[in-house]
Amino acid sequence: MLNRTLAVTVPLALLLAAPLHADPHPGDWESVLDEARGQTVYWYAWAGEERTNDYIQWTARQVAERHDIELVHVKIGDTAEAVSRVLAEKQAGNHERGNVDLIWINGENFATMKANDLLFGPWSEQLPHYPLTDPDNTPAVRDDWTIPVDGLESPWSSSQVVFYYDTALVDEHPRSMPELLDWARENPGDFTYPRVPNFLGNAFITQALLELAEDSDILYEPMREDDFDEVSAPLWAFLDELHPHLWRSGRAFPANSSELRRLMGDGEISIALSFSTTEASGAIANFELPDSVRSYVHDHGMIGNMSFLAIPYNAQHKAGAMVVADYLLSPEAQAHKQDPVVWGSNTVLAVATLEPADRALFDDIDLGIATLAPDELGEVLGQPHPSWVDALADAWQARYVGN
C-alpha cells in the first residue's frame, strides 16, 4: 500500500511542478498582446480612497475596450496582504496558479518580494510606453526606496508629501517640524496625522526624522540595530512633545488620508497632510473642503516617491498584467490620473519630452486653486531604506498604541 501511494503521489507532484506554459516574452509585444486577449487580470490594489477606486474602474473599461482584458480590482487595505498571499503560495508549492496577477506596490513590500524571489521579470523596461519616463534622466523609476528595480516593476504614479491648511483659520503656516510643534502648542487639537503604519502616517514620521536627524544620510543605508536608538531619538522626543497637542490629545488617530481629509472638511482640524500635491484642489472641486484651503511645503524639502506595478512570479495572467501596466503608462491614462477632479496623482512621464499632442493632454489640466506650482514644491527628499521605515513603524506602535 505504501509503495502504491508513492507511485501515485510522485507523478502528481511532478505534474504540479511542471510549467503549464512558457511565460510571455515582454520583448515580443505582439505576442504579448495576442496572449492577453480574453484574460482576466486580478489587480490587488489598496482601496482606501474612492477616487483611486474609481480610476481603477475607469482603467478596467479602457483595457476591456482596447485589449479585451477583464480587469478585476481586488480591494485590499494593505499591500502586505497581497505579498503575504504570494509568499504563502510559494511555500505551498503553487508556482503556476497564483491568484495575484498585478500588485500596486513600492518600498518595503517591493524589497520583501524581491528578496524572496516572488517577482516575474525583468519585464518593465520593455513595455512600449516605458521610454516616455525618460529613465536615463529619471533615477526614481529605477530605484524604489533605494532598492534597484532591475525591471521587476513598472512605474505608474508619482507622489510628494505636502501639507494643506485652511487660510480662514490659520494666519501663518509652519515651515518645519520644529515650527509645527510650536504651532500645535498654540493651537491644540488643530492638527493630527494618520495612525502608523498607514503609508501617510509612515510618511509623516519619516519626514520628521529626516528634518530632525543630525545626519540623515544614514537613513538611506540598510539599518543596523546598533544605530537605531541613537538615530531615531530626535523623532521620539519630537512626537512625545507633539502628541498631547494633537486632535483628541493624540489618544486616537485617523485611519487614513480619507479620514484625515474628513476631519479637515468638518472643521475639526485646520492643518493636514497628503501624499498628493493636488489632493486639496480635488477635494475643493468635490466639495469636501472649503475653497479657503491651500497647500504648502516645508523649507528644506518633502518626501517624494513613485508607486509601481509588479507581477508575481506565479501569476496566471502575466501577458494581461503587462498590457494593463503598459496602458497605465500611456499619456492618456497618465493625464486622466493627474486631473485633480479624477484623482490628482502626478504623472511618472517626462512631460517635456512628449510629442506635442501628448504634452497638450497635461497642459490642459486645471490643477486647481490649492495646488502649488512645480517650482513651489521645493526639494524632493528620497524615501529612506525600507529597513528604517519598517523599524520606525514598529517602534511607533510599541511606543504609542494604547496610549
pLDDT, residue 20, reads: 53
Q: What is the CATH number of domain 23-157+306-367?
A: 3.40.190.10
Angle at CA of residue 146, ends 233 and 75, nearest 5°: 90
Residue recorded with cell 519630537:
238
Counting every residue written for the chain, the total comes to 403
Mean pLDDT, residues 22-38 = 95
Mean pLDDT, residues 207-226 = 95
Give pTM, 2 decimals: 0.84
Assigned CATH topology for domain 162-304+378-400: D-Maltodextrin-Binding Protein; domain 2 (3.40.190)
How many Å apart are CA 294 and CA 291, to the nearest integer?
A: 8
Q: Which residues pair with 159 in a beta bridge?
A: 305
pLDDT, residue 157, reads: 94
Which cell numbers hold the place of 55? 480610476
Rg (CA), the chain: 23
Each residue's pLDDT tens digit, 90-139 = 999 999 999 999 999 988 899 999 999 999 999 999 999 999 999 999 98
Each residue's pLDDT tens digit, 282-323 = 999 989 999 999 999 999 999 998 999 999 999 999 999 999
23-157+306-367 matches 162-304+378-400 in fold? yes
Inform me whether the pLDDT recorded for 48 exceeds 90.
no
What are the domain boundaries of the chain?
A: 23-157+306-367, 162-304+378-400
Angle at CA of residue 190, ends 255 and 52, nearest 5°: 35
Residue in 314, 323, 310, 321 with CA at minimum distance from that of residue 99: 314
Mean pLDDT, residues 343-349 = 92
Mean pLDDT, residues 376-402 = 92
Residues 6+ away with beta carbon under 8 Å from 65: none
Distances from the Cα of 128 to the Cαs of 131, 133, 201, in angstroms? 7, 11, 35
